[in-house]
Amino acid sequence: MKTFKNNPKFSFFGVLMPEEEQKKEGIEDSESSEAQEPIEKQEKLTEISEKKEEKPHVVIHKPEHKEHKVEHKPEHKHKEEIKEHKEKKSFIKIIDEIYDKKYKQLLIIPAVLLIFCIGVIGFTIFTTGDFIYKGVSLKGGFSVSVSSDKQITVEDLQSKLRSEFRQADISVRALTRAGDQVGISVDVSGAESDEIINALEPYLGKLSKDHYSIDTMGPSLGASFFKETLIAILIAFFAMAIVVFLYFRAVAPSFYVILSAIADALFALAVIDILQIKISTAGIAAFLMLIGYSIDTDILLTTRVLKGKEGTVHDRVIGSLKTGLTMTIAAIAAVVIAYFSTQSEMLKQIMLILFLGLVADIINTWITNVSLLRWYVEKRHKIGL
């Protein structure tokens, strides 16, 4: 017979307790607990198996996440490149906006440059009595050309002759053939030819009449040639102004074209005066050539702005700017190559004057003429013309 002393299902008096009271007291049936133990073990096994099944899913997910990160790296770099490109574009846009919106303020640059050039030329007139330094062919004198196999340093010979003849105006240049020095030429004003020949003999040896030749330019002839050349330049500007006016049928745009060409010539002349280069007849011819080089870009600009129909005024200016700068830069390149490849002093002088005028043309056409033209177009648009 079983004892009920230690059995929790029985009460103090040995009577079996009802199931509800057993539940209230928190008493569990040993038999039911024994029956639930295998069920709990089975549930744990199923949970473990489910966790094991989930592990491959985690392993598969990790590489996908890594691959996703690797794919985003080049995209991030691409965004940085786009950002840098936008910053560059913004800088260009700023310059374009200044050129478009503040073109009137840009007129200060060519105005200051023009005043400076006029000041330099005025100072030259005040100190020398003329606006240029004239060479022998313009103010009169003679030129001695000597054939010699001796290699003479032109700068040294010129400095020694000038120190010996302080009252004379002396210029020495080398005579070359196929790049080799075959003699020298001495331009002299204010001295006698015999004195110069005697001064050259210590450097070149005994000189007979077969070794040298003398070309003389009288002062009156040089002055006459200089005066006629100036008249020719004035006539060229006047004729050019008439042609431009007849084409555009407007006074202001025609004046802007002529003003730009004059400013180019003044800039070249001012730099020549600063360098104290003596202008010869070839130099005067270079100024005539400069008129043609300067006016072509101004005609291109004025034609596109006034007669063009496509886009805004600013768009037409930018279109003509690209074409005009290409033309000017190509001309500058050709002039620079010619300057360094030739040995002739006359050709060097021509190329130098053209180079200076073309550099000034970039400022005077694409700032001065552009700004004045846009101002003119805006005023004409406001009054309904």
pLDDT range class, residue 259, cuts 50, 70, 90: very high
Looking at residue 23, its pLDDT comes to: 46
Asked if 300 and 323 touch (Cβ cutoff 8 Å), the reply is: yes
Q: What is the mean pLDDT of residues 355-375?
A: 92
Which pLDDT band holds residue 11 (cuts at 50, 70, 90)?
very low
Q: Which residue has the higher pLDDT, 361 or 343?
A: 361
- Please state, as a whole number, how many other Cβ atoms lie within 10 Å of the Cβ of residue 371: 21
Inform me whether the pLDDT recorded for 264 exceeds 90. yes
Q: Which of 56-65, 108-117, 167-176, 371-380 has the lowest mean pLDDT?
A: 56-65
Of the two residues 377 and 114, the one the predictor is more confident about is 114
Are the beta carbons of 262 and 237 closer than 8 angstroms? Answer: yes
Lowest mean pLDDT among 66-70, 73-77, 212-216, 354-358: 66-70
Identify the CA nearest to 185 among candidates 164, 165, 215, 206.
Answer: 215
Ordered DSSP codes for 219-239 = HHHHHHHHHHHHHHHHHHHHH
Beta bridge partners of 216: 142
Residue 361's closest CA among 298, 312, 300, 311? 298
pLDDT at 360 over 50: yes
Residue 5 has pLDDT above 50, yes or no: no
How far apart are the C-alpha atoms of 316 and 115, rounded to whole Å? 30
Sequence-separated (6 or more) residues with CB below 8 Å from residue 205: 148, 150
Is the pLDDT confidence value at 26 over 80?
Answer: no
Mean pLDDT of 129-157: 82
Please state which of the ranges 148-152, 242-246, 294-298 shows the lowest mean pLDDT.
Answer: 148-152
Look over the chain and give the mean of its residue pLDDT values, rounded to a whole number: 77
| Token pair for 76 | 């991030």
Kindly indicate the confidence band of residue 91, based on its pLDDT and cuts at 50, 70 and 90.
low
Structure token digits, residue 271: 């730099």
Dihedral angle computed from the Cα positions of residues 144, 146, 151 and 152, in that order, rounded to the nearest 10 degrees: -20
Residue 351 and residue 357: Cα distance in Å, rounded? 10
Q: Would you say 181 and 147 are in contact if contact means Cβ atoms under 8 Å apart?
A: no
DSSP β-bridge partners for residue 281: none
d(CA 201, CA 203): 5
* CA Rg value for the chain: 48
Query: How far is residue 223's CA from residue 141's CA, in Å, rounded to a whole number?
Result: 11
H or E segment and range at residue 54: helix 30-101
CA atoms of 317 and 373, how far apart (whole Å): 10
SS3 279: strand
- In this predicted model, which residue has the larger pLDDT, 33 or 137? 137
pLDDT (average), residues 65-74: 47
Instruction: Give dist(CA 27, CA 30) in Å, integer.
Output: 9
- Under 8 Å between Cβ of 245 and 251: yes
In the structure encoding, which two tokens stand for residue 81, read together?
Answer: 């490149």
Express each pLDDT in 269-293 by its tens digit.
Answer: 999 999 988 888 888 889 888 888 8
Q: What is the longest distance spanned by two Cα atoms in the chain?
A: 167
Q: Do the Cβ atoms of 139 and 189 come closer than 8 Å? A: yes
Q: Is the pTM of this model over 0.75?
A: no
What does the alpha-carbon distance between residue 187 and residue 137 come to, in Å, rounded to a whole number? 9
- Dist CA 287 CA 211 (whole Å): 35
Q: Tell me: the pLDDT tens digits for 145-191?
A: 888 777 778 888 888 888 888 878 888 887 777 667 778 888 888 78
Query: Cβ distance 204 to 146 under 8 Å?
Result: yes
Check: CB of residue 144 under 8 Å from CB of residue 191: no
Task: Evaluate if residue 114 carries a pLDDT over 60.
Answer: yes
In this structure, which amino acid lies at residue 28? Answer: E
